Amino acid sequence: MRDDEPAFEALRDAHVAALTGSLIDGVAHGPGGAGYVWSRSVPDPSLNFAYGVRRPEQFAWAGAAALGRARTPAFLARDAEEVALLRGLFEPAILRPARWMVARPPPAPSPADGAVALQATPAPGPDFEGVFVNLSDDPAVRTHLRRTYLPALRAAKARPGLVRLHLVLRDVTGPAACASLYLRGDTAGLYNVATRFDRQRRGLGTAVTVAALHAARARGATQVFLPIFLHGPTGSASEALFARAGFRTVCAPALLCTSPP
């Protein structure tokens, strides 16, 4: 990590602050700086996890915090040292690597920006939803997105100091790719990057990501971050997509789950 790049804790806290009020509902604080992030609508461990857990009493508190919200305990470890400490407390059923990536938005306009519609509202619109829920050709995935993510995104409320910006890229077929920016001061989080499954492998995901970087720069952001959780070949493909758009990996945490997601 370079001297000018943010530490894991700073990225984690910016991530939680960006999504609180939409995909994340709150953070519970426990002993010794431990915390538990939770989502009311979305059960996925990537949105329901404990952090800062290193000791048995913190582990017990985090387990109770998760089970009290009907969530399976999961733990975000910042590095290999924390993974080893958590493995001393339990044997994870799943260990999912993650990447925290950062980009400096370039000042030049993007050629694709003219095809991108921007909506500065807490909740995204119908075109965005139509892309987002069709990012996979698996009916089970689409059902999961409709039942969990869409209600959370639709219920998003305005928050002081936070600007939500939703982008939709259109091609000859109509809305084809989407992304969301969550801007706070000179920092922005990039989320919900998706391409319709029938429009993938055409560079549209990269194009909407680049457009988001330019939109962030135009609104005063000097840094854009995003977390991705690697899962099979799609995880590696996502990391490569964002690298092509100018992101670089600055932290490599891991999500340890007590049972399969």
Helix (H) / strand (E) element for 214: namely helix 204-218
CATH of the domain at 204: 3.40.630.30
Specify whether 60 is located in the same domain as 153.
no
Q: Are residues 184 and 119 in the same domain?
A: yes
Residues of the chain with pLDDT under 70: 1-4, 108-114, 232-236, 261
Indicate the residue among 71, 100, 129 that finishes a domain.
Answer: 100
**What is the distance between the alpha carbons of residues 258 and 27, in angstroms, rounded to a whole number?**
20
Residues 213 and 196 in one domain: yes
**242 within a domain of the structure (yes/no):** no
Average pLDDT over the chain, rounded to an integer: 92
77 plus 122 within the same structural domain: no
Final residue of a domain: which of 100, 120, 150?
A: 100
Distances (CA, A) of 107 to 88, 167, 204, 250: 47, 18, 20, 22
Instruction: Check residue 232 and give its pLDDT.
Output: 54
| Residue 170, C-beta contacts closer than 8 angstroms, at least 6 positions apart | 115, 116, 117, 127, 176
Q: What's the pLDDT at 234? A: 52
Contacts of 100 (CB under 8 A, 6+ apart): 8, 11, 12, 225, 226, 227, 249, 250, 251, 252, 253
Same domain, 93 and 162: no
**Domain boundary pick from 75, 100, 125:** 100
pLDDT for position 238: 84
Helices (H), 54-203: 56-67, 80-87, 126-132, 139-144, 150-154
The answer to whether residue 229 is domain-embedded is: no
Residue 130 and residue 191 share a domain? yes
Q: Check whether residue 40 and residue 58 sit in a common domain.
A: yes
Do 117 and 140 fall within a single domain?
yes
- Please check whether residues 114 and 199 belong to one and the same domain: yes
Strand 49-51 versus strand 74-77 pairing type: parallel
pLDDT at 233: 46
- Look up residue 52 and give its two tokens: 């800062």
Residue 138 covered by a domain: yes
Please count the structural domains in the chain. 2
In-domain check, residue 162: yes
Q: Is residue 245 one of the residues assigned to a domain?
A: no
- Contacts of 87 by beta carbon, 8 Å cutoff, 6+ apart: 256
Does residue 177 sit within a domain?
Answer: yes
Domain co-membership, 90 together with 122: no
Residues 70 and 89 in one domain: yes
Rounded to two decimals, the pTM is 0.92
Residues 110 and 80 in one domain: no
Q: What is the pLDDT of residue 3?
A: 58
Tens of pLDDT along 116-150?
A: 999 999 999 999 999 999 999 999 999 999 999 99
Residue 55 located in a structural domain: yes
Query: pLDDT per residue over 14-55, tens digit each?
Result: 999 999 999 999 999 999 999 999 999 999 999 999 999 999
Asked whether residue 255 is assigned to any structural domain, the reply reads: no
Domain that holds residue 86: 8-100
